[in-house]
């Protein structure tokens, strides 16, 4: 019997000092395993004298059960401890600020471009496109801009070769569309244009929106109506508008459209050079020569055209005084739109 008591005592010593699951597994093998101490005692039961055997046997059985029970409980306890330890080391601070993903947004020029397109589309205009690398023919010749015209000056135009340029305006799209389609026409052509120029109000690349409406009875009052509606939608319905005679080779008569100065409300200031008016776009009745070169019969059709600078419209709308701000990519500027 003494051997059983010391077995139990040895087990208790070991189990009380074990602190991890591997240690516990070793104890289990040592006592309850196939070749363990308890198992071998059970196997040796027959060598115990018959009169001592019942008591010895039942005590051994109790010890066996006790050891198994204790191992089970200890295992639960150790697993619990290990989980607790893991939770401690993996603890996250939910009060720390999260990782911030900044959102992008549309560039102000594209926002205004969309707004301009929406206004004209709502009036029934459709959208056309043309190439940015353009033939001299479409950019100048077919628009009745003769060889000596200042717009062809080497200072202003980026020449790719003798007869290929980076388009200096969106007007060539007028001719390209007329060559392909028969009237009635009601189109706008937004896009990038290029001029060799850079200062507070010029960048080498900027955007324009061209407009063209052609049918059998289009008059100057149609032009006025469409552009007034556009300006009132874009700048607000109380904006004063005036048409001032001007000159463009591709329109006759030609006009420039002014709006009441938004900086001084028409009183006269530095921006409007004390006139109280700001120029916003160019327009006119399509020159019969342009119709002719596009393959339209000039006595059959009339039409109007207009062209505006998107950067200029944006600067006027938001009182921005330097065009270069659009292309410096300073987020402090861009985030305001």
Q: Which is nearer to ligand DAH, 220 or 333 (CB)?
A: 220
Q: Which is nearer to ligand DAH, 5 or 198 (CB)?
A: 198
Q: What gap in Å lies between CA 61 and CA 71, rounded to an integer?
A: 15
Cβ-proximal residues to 43 (8 Å cutoff; 6+ apart), any chain:
none
- 305 scored as a contact of ligand DAH (CB under 6 A): yes
CB of 305 to ligand DAH, least distance (A): 3
DSSP H helical segments within the chain, as ranges?
2-17, 21-32, 37-43, 53-89, 108-122, 136-139, 172-180, 220-235, 288-294, 310-318, 331-334
- 157 scored as a contact of ligand DAH (CB under 6 A): no
- 284 scored as a contact of ligand DAH (CB under 6 A): yes
Contact region with ligand DAH (CB under 6 A), list: 83-91, 123-131, 184-192, 299-307: 299-307
Q: What gap in Å lies between CA 234 and CA 271, rounded to an integer?
A: 20
Dihedrals phi, psi of 289, to nearest 5 degrees: -65, -35
In Å, what is the CA distance from 239 to each residue of 135, 143, 229, 258? 38, 32, 11, 10
Among 125, 282, 301, 311, binds ligand DAH (CB under 6 A): 282
Q: Which is nearer to ligand DAH, 63 or 188 (CB)?
A: 188
- 172 scored as a contact of ligand DAH (CB under 6 A): no
Among 140, 194, 301, 306, binds ligand DAH (CB under 6 A): 306
Torsion sign, CA atoms 254, 221, 183, 110: positive
Q: What gap in Å lies between CA 195 and CA 206, rounded to an integer?
A: 8
- 195 scored as a contact of ligand DAH (CB under 6 A): no
- 171 scored as a contact of ligand DAH (CB under 6 A): yes
Contact region with ligand DAH (CB under 6 A), list: 60-68, 96-104, 293-301, 303-311: 303-311
- 210 scored as a contact of ligand DAH (CB under 6 A): yes
């Amino acid at each position: 019997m003494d051997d059983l008591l010391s077995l139990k005592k040895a087990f208790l010593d070991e189990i009380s000092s074990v602190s991890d699951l591997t240690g516990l597994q070793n104890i289990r093998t040592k006592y309850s395993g196939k070749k363990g101490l308890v198992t071998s005692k059970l196997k040796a039961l027959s060598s115990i004298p018959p009169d001592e055997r019942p008591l010895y046997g039942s005590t051994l059985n109790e010890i066996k059960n006790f050891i198994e029970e204790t191992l089970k409980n200890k295992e639960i306890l150790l697993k619990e401890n290990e989980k607790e330890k893991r939770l401690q080391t993996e603890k996250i601070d939910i009060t720390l600020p999260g990782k911030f993903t900044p959102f992008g947004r549309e560039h102000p020029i594209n926002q205004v471009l969309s707004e301009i397109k929406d206004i004209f589309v709502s009036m029934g205009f459709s959208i056309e496109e043309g190439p940015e690398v353009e033939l001299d023919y479409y950019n100048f010749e077919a628009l009745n801009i003769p060889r000596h015209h200042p717009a062809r000056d080497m200072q202003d135009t980026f020449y790719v070769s003798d007869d290929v340029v980076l388009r200096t305006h969106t007007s060539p799209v007028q001719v390209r569309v007329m060559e392909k389609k028969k009237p009635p026409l009601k189109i706008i052509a937004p896009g990038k244009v290029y001029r060799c120029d850079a200062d507070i109000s010029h960048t080498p690349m900027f955007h324009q929106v061209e407009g063209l409406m052609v049918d059998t009875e289009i008059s100057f009052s149609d032009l006025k109506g469409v552009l007034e509606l556009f300006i009132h939608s874009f700048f607000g319905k109380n904006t004063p508008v005036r048409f001032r005679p001007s000159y463009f080779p591709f329109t006759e008569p030609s006009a420039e459209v002014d709006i009441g100065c938004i900086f001084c409300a028409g009183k006269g200031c530095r921006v409007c050079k004390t006139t109280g008016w700001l120029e916003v776009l160019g327009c006119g009745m399509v020159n019969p020569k342009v119709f002719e070169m596009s393959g339209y019969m000039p006595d059959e059709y009339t039409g109007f055209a207009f062209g505006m600078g998107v950067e200029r419209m944006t600067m006027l709308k938001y009182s921005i005084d330097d065009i270069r701000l659009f292309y410096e990519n300073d987020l402090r500027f861009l985030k305001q739109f």
